[in-house]
């Protein structure tokens, strides 16, 4: 069993800076949990407290059924993979893989068997006799993965492991890591993962669940679909999804909402979801859900720019002095001809209303 629990976890650094503000999180055995958030939000600090590399200032970390606060990293049943690989430069790949098991005093035959198994999984058999400096970035990262895997830990901890790779390699390593996780689970090996990244695409594509963090607080924990469809607050709404959700200051007046001098009916669907009617509201609509329409209720906006992406076009338009983005099909864009004034309709089923004062989504 390697579930991980964070209970009122706090970190205050030596300079009295409070980096982690009492967070609570339960990660299931075998779950792939992603910590995502902007740089400086305390993802690494939190992960390093789980790993035992950073002292815990308050609260508890529980791995399996053990409180591990006072256990050294080597006793926590974890393995960590870092951004910079941290391979021993003077040892060949084989030596790097063997290192942890040698220290643990495992017999030679067992170590060799483990190396063969891991090398096969990661397709690094041909690299075993090379030094780290003779490896490409992607190969070095696979060796670093292998070094974690060979320990058969209860929990894998990853801190931005793909940040040093180019975009193409990052995309393929992403798939490799998720497939590896699935494979380990299928083999009955407990393989709980905590994966730290600032990249929302990595978070969305890899996580069973995602924990969105900001300034040492958890903003929301949910599945990728849950975060995308039901962001709990403005921060999550703006952070998850690409292009970013349009977040537009608005007023709720009776049965309509207004942006500048333009109004649209709230409609029964959204009305039914409203748990409050904030005086200062922000409406949120994703660019994919802001459609170009010929008639019916819609906002009128002035087209400012069109980015051609191949199968779709990102329209940038000015709506009452606010910039909005709409993703439309290429054919719809071409049908526009030369007209500069466009009509944009937010899909009512996918519209969000936030309270501007506290950022809360009042339309879930």
Residues that bind ligand ADP (CB under 6 A): 13, 15, 17, 19, 37, 39-45
The whole-angstrom separation of Cα 273 and Cα 363 is 5
If 0-12 CB within 10 Å is exposed, 13-18 middle and 19+ buried, where does residue 239 land? buried
Q: Which 3 state secondary structure label does DSSP give 70?
A: coil
Residue 42 binds which entry of Mg ion, ligand ADP, none, CB below 5-8 Å type-dependent: ligand ADP
To Mg ion, the closest distance from the beta carbon of 335 in angstroms equals 46
For the CB of residue 118, give the shortest distance to ligand ADP in the complex, in Å: 28
Nearer to Mg ion, 161 or 278 (CB): 161
Nearer to Mg ion, 44 or 96 (CB): 44
For residues 318 and 358, give the distance between their C-alpha atoms in angstroms, rounded to a whole number.
Answer: 26
Q: Which does 88 bind (CB under 5 to 8 A by kind): ligand ADP, Mg ion, none?
A: none
- Name the residue whose CB lies closest to Mg ion: 44
Q: CB of residue 345 vs Mg ion: minimum separation in angstroms?
A: 41
Query: Cα(43)–Cα(50) distance, rounded to whole angstroms?
Result: 11
Angle subtended at Cα 93 by Cα 162 and Cα 112, rounded to the nearest 5 degrees: 120
Min separation Cβ 229 and ligand ADP, Å: 25
3-state secondary structure of 168: helix
The number of CA neighbours under 13 Å toward the Cβ of 61 is: 27
- The smaller minimum CB distance to Mg ion, of residues 45 and 288, is found at 45
User: Which CB, 18 or 360, lies closer to ligand ADP?
Assistant: 18
Give contact residues for Mg ion (rule: CB under 5 A). Answer: 44
Minimum distance of Mg ion from residue 53's CB (angstroms): 12
**Whole-angstrom distance, CA of residue 236 vs CA of residue 171:** 23
Q: Which does 15 bind (CB under 5 to 8 A by kind): Mg ion, ligand ADP, none?
A: ligand ADP
């Amino acid at each position: 069993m390697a579930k991980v629990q964070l209970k009122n976890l706090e970190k205050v650094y030596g300079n009295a800076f409070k980096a982690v503000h009492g967070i609570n999180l339960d990660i299931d055995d075998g779950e792939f949990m992603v910590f995502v958030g902007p740089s400086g939000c305390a993802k690494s600090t939190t992960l390093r407290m789980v790993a035992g590399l950073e002292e815990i200032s308050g609260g508890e970390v529980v791995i399996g059924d053990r409180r591990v606060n006072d256990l050294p990293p080597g006793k926590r049943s974890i393995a960590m993979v870092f951004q910079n690989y941290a391979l021993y430069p003077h040892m060949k790949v084989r030596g790097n893989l063997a290192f942890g098991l040698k220290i643990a005093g495992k017999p030679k035959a067992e170590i060799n068997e483990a190396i063969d198994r891991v090398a096969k999984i990661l397709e690094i058999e041909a690299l075993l006799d090379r030094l780290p400096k003779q490896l490409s970035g992607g190969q070095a990262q696979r060796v670093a993965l292998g070094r974690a895997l060979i320990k058969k830990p209860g929990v894998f901890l990853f801190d931005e492991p793909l940040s040093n790779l180019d975009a193409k390699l990052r995309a393929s390593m992403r798939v490799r890591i998720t497939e590896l996780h699935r494979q380990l689970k299928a083999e009955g090996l407990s393989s709980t993962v905590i994966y730290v990244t600032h990249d929302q695409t990595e978070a969305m594509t890899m996580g069973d669940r995602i924990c969105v963090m900001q300034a040492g607080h958890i903003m929301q924990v949910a599945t990728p679909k849950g975060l995308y469809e039901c962001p709990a607050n403005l921060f999550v709404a703006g952070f998850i999804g690409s292009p970013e959700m349009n977040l537009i200051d608005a007023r709720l007046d009776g049965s309509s909402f207004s942006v500048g001098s333009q109004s649209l009916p709230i409609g029964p669907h959204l009305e039914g979801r409203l748990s409050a009617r904030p005086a200062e509201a922000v409406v949120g609509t994703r660019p994919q859900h802001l459609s170009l329409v010929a008639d019916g209720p819609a906002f009128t906006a002035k087209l400012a720019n069109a980015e051609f992406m191949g199968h779709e076009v990102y329209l940038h338009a000015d709506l009452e002095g606010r910039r909005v983005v709409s993703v439309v099909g290429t054919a719809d864009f071409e049908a526009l001809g030369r007209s500069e004034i466009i009509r944009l309709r937010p899909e009512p089923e996918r519209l969000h209303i936030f309270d501007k004062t506290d950022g809360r989504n009042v339309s879930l």
